[in-house]
Amino acid sequence: MSATTSTPVGDTERVRAMLGSADAGRKRTDRMMTGLIYAAFVVAMIPLVSLLWTVVIRGIERFSPYFLSVSMRGVFGGMDAGGIYHAIVGTLVITLVAAAISVPIGLLTAVYLVEYGRGPLARVTTFFVDVMTGIPSIVAGLFAFALFAIFFGPGVRLGVAASVALSVLMIPVVVRSSEEMLRLVPNELREASYALGVPKWLTIIKVVLRTSVAGLTTGVLLSIARVIGETAPILITAGYADSINFNPFEGRMATLPVYIFTQYRQGTVPCAPGALDCVEDINLMRAWAAALTLILIVMLLNLVGRLVTRFFAPKLR
């Protein structure tokens, strides 16, 4: 208070003028930048929306409970039949097994790096995780294929081989994202726990992992999203099948991306004129509907992740 009263009148005037006058140039820049940012947003949305639109419009044609619940067994030519049940099963089984392999390995690696890792071993681990991040998926597929060929003979095609190939791609993503999440847990919480006489391993499980579980879930889901659309490594390792196979340890397996790929490759069917049960572009229609299904599965996964996050996130009130 006393500061304002002791200010000379001229100063007061100046301050008032300064506060009241709007800087026209700055306002213009502000408006321009706002416009630019909105424009950038719209430009970024165009491909996304158009992609979704195309997939939905084309996929919806064949998308039906029937399509979701039958396999391609005994379907040939332009037959107005067949579905993706076997491919959904394959995608879920292979991805689940891949996650079952990668999540423990990735999470434990991250825990090691954040909670225990010191010195050369930690640096080497970090380095190799970085290297793994850059492995092209086809190389991962070849690796898994070669690995299983050693044990089961050349030319073996197994669902679990595909899972191993996907794990090679998943593990670095899980390690990286989990590591970041674990580092976000404030040290104060660890110390609070130690100070209560809680051993380190229990502190890690019940405080560190528990506090970061929402972020960890997001990381795992991201890594799943990263591999669920992989085609090449699965084609190499699990091949393709027309019929349903629940067992990743025996026989070929189809997945949605590979299904899409094979359907697309078959292209249009030359129908004999007047043939009743023949749709010319049935294969392409199936491919689009399968693509739609794949997108829906990923969205469903994200929804589950959101729910987990909401349920486990630290609450304030």
> For residues 222 and 173, is the Cβ–Cβ distance under 8 A?
yes
Minimum Å gap between C-beta 219 and other proteins is: 18
| Cα gap 123→113, rounded to integer Å | 9
The sign of the CA dihedral 243, 66, 225, 235 is positive
> For residues 72 and 86, is the Cβ–Cβ distance under 8 A?
yes
Minimum Å gap between C-beta 186 and other proteins is: 7
Among 2, 188, 272, 274, binds other proteins (CB under 8 A): 188
| Cα gap 291→274, rounded to integer Å | 30
Q: Between residues 53 and 116, which has the closer beta carbon with respect to other proteins?
A: 116
Q: What are phi and psi of 8, to 5 degrees?
A: -60, 155
Residue 189 touching other proteins (CB under 8 A): yes
| Cα gap 267→282, rounded to integer Å | 8
Among 18, 22, 43, 196, binds other proteins (CB under 8 A): 196
Count of C-beta atoms within a 10 Å radius of residue 263:
23
> For residues 290 and 87, is the Cβ–Cβ distance under 8 A?
yes
Task: For residue 290, give both structure tokens.
Answer: 């399968």
The H or E element spanning position 249 is none
Minimum Å gap between C-beta 304 and other proteins is: 20
Q: Between residues 46 and 195, which has the closer beta carbon with respect to other proteins?
A: 195
The stretch among 76-84, 93-101, 187-195, 247-255 that binds other proteins (CB under 8 A) is 187-195
Residue 194 touching other proteins (CB under 8 A): yes
Residue 267 touching other proteins (CB under 8 A): no
Among 6, 9, 48, 118, binds other proteins (CB under 8 A): 118
Residue 120 touching other proteins (CB under 8 A): no
Minimum Å gap between C-beta 108 and other proteins is: 20
Binding to other proteins by CB under 8 A, coded x per residue (else -) over 198-237, reads: xx--xx--xx--xx--------------------------
Task: For residue 28, give both structure tokens.
Answer: 């213009």
Q: Between residues 264 and 312, which has the closer beta carbon with respect to other proteins?
A: 312
Minimum Å gap between C-beta 31 and other proteins is: 40
Minimum Å gap between C-beta 118 and other proteins is: 6
| Cα gap 12→18, rounded to integer Å | 10
Q: Greatest CA separation found in the chain?
A: 100
Q: What are phi and psi of 304, to 5 degrees?
A: -60, -45
| Cα gap 229→95, rounded to integer Å | 10
Minimum Å gap between C-beta 106 and other proteins is: 22
Q: Between residues 97 and 214, which has the closer beta carbon with respect to other proteins?
A: 214
Q: Tokens 């979704």 correspond to what residue? A: 52
Among 52, 146, 149, 192, binds other proteins (CB under 8 A): 192
Q: Between residues 13 and 191, which has the closer beta carbon with respect to other proteins?
A: 191
Minimum Å gap between C-beta 310 and other proteins is: 13
**Which has the closest alpha carbon to 249: 239, 234, 238?**
238
Contacting positions for other proteins (CB under 8 A): 118, 186, 188-199, 202-203, 206-207, 210-211, 312, 314-317
